[in-house]
């Protein structure tokens, strides 16, 4: 009898839905956390690269400043050896030029150092964030895996039962079931509730109630389209 198969199919589908509800938004949450983790990791790599560049630049600056100091000292020594104003002016001019370059490099190095400091702080914060995020991800992933493995066996057995049930139904009835199932939030087969539809509550005409109770044919609610059965007689 098709009606009994439909009742069983609905029972299987309800169990499958409950299993999926059990998983909830865990897979989505884990995915979201993974993306967050990936983003922080990439950002950390970029920041550490920049820190290396800054260290190189600072070192270059220091080396150049030492060179300049050396040169300036030599120029100062040469000042004692000049014999005319023209030479003196030329040396002074070169010294001024050197000092100007030194001042530019010092300013630059200072800004590199400031950037370095800010970056180092940010890297420390991000590494600690990453630590707690990784812990959270691990906890959620483990929870998800345990829920999935617990339900996997049940799910595959239900899916096997479902496909057997589906094969035993005629295509027309099955296609109506699928349509109502989709449209009515996963509930396509309902028990009579008194003289009303157990799904939408609509009144069911007495003639139909009698036939549903007698389990003599397949009936559907005129309002919501759900298949109707009567629990009292379904075991007949």
Chain residues 178-217 in contact with Zn ion, contact rule CB under 5 A: 197, 199-200, 202
The residue within the footprint of Zn ion, chosen from 221, 227, 229, 230 (CB under 5 A), is 221
Q: How far apart are CA 154 and CA 151, in angstroms?
A: 5
On whether the CB atoms of residues 119 and 33 are closer than 8 A, the answer is no
Sign of the alpha-carbon torsion through 197, 201, 204, 209: positive
Nearer to Zn ion, 44 or 200 (CB): 200
Q: Tell me the closest approach of the beta carbon of residue 193 to Zn ion, in angstroms.
A: 10
Q: Tell me the closest approach of the beta carbon of residue 6 to Zn ion, in angstroms.
A: 15
Q: 161 CB contacts (<8 Å, ≥6 apart)?
A: 12
Q: Are strands 189-193 and 219-220 parallel, antiparallel or unpaired?
A: unpaired
Q: Tell me the closest approach of the beta carbon of residue 41 to Zn ion, in angstroms.
A: 53
Q: Look up residue 225 and give its two tokens.
A: 């389209």
Please work out the total of residues on this chain that contact Zn ion, with binding judged by CB under 5 A. Answer: 7
The residue within the footprint of Zn ion, chosen from 12, 224, 227, 229 (CB under 5 A), is 224
Q: Tell me the closest approach of the beta carbon of residue 128 to Zn ion, in angstroms.
A: 56
Nearer to Zn ion, 165 or 220 (CB): 220
Nearer to Zn ion, 160 or 210 (CB): 210
Nearer to Zn ion, 95 or 228 (CB): 228
Q: How far apart are CA 19 and CA 54, in angstroms?
A: 54
Nearer to Zn ion, 30 or 223 (CB): 223
Helices (H), ranges, the chain? 2-23, 26-79, 85-168, 171-183, 206-214
Report the half-sphere exposure of 231 (CA within 13 A, side-chain side): 8
CA 17 to chain CA centroid, nearest Å: 23
The mark string for 53-82 relative to Zn ion (x by CB under 5 A, - otherwise) is ------------------------------
Q: Tell me the closest approach of the beta carbon of residue 228 to Zn ion, in angstroms.
A: 8
Q: Tell me the closest approach of the beta carbon of residue 16 to Zn ion, in angstroms.
A: 23
Helices (H), ranges, 24-84? 26-79
Tallying the residues shown for the chain, one arrives at: 236
Nearer to Zn ion, 56 or 202 (CB): 202
Applying CB under 5 A, the residues found at the interface with Zn ion are: 197, 199-200, 202, 221, 223-224
């Amino acid at each position: 009898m098709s009606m009994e198969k439909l009742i069983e199919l609905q029972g299987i589908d309800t169990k499958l839905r409950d299993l999926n509800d059990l998983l909830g938004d865990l897979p989505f949450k884990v995915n979201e956390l993974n993306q967050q983790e990936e983003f922080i990791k990439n950002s950390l790599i970029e920041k550490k690269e920049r820190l290396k560049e800054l260290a190189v630049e600072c070192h270059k600056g220091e080396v150049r400043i030492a060179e300049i100091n050396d040169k300036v000292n030599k120029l100062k020594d040469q000042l004692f050896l000049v014999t005319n104003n023209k030479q003196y002016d030329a040396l002074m001019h070169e010294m001024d030029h050197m000092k100007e370059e030194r001042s530019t490099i010092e300013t630059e190095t200072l800004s590199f150092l400031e950037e370095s400091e800010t970056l180092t702080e940010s890297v420390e914060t991000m590494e600690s964030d990453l630590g707690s995020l990784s812990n959270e991800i691990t906890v959620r992933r483990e929870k998800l895996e345990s829920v999935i493995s617990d339900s996997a066996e049940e799910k595959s057995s239900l899916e096997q039962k479902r496909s057997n049930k589906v094969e035993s139904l005629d295509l027309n009835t099955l296609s109506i079931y699928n349509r109502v199932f989709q449209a009515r939030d996963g509930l396509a087969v309902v028990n009579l509730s008194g003289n009303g539809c157990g799904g939408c509550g609509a009144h069911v005409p007495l003639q139909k109630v009698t036939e549903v109770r007698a389990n003599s044919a397949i009936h559907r609610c005129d309002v919501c389209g759900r298949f109707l059965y009567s629990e009292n007689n379904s075991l007949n």
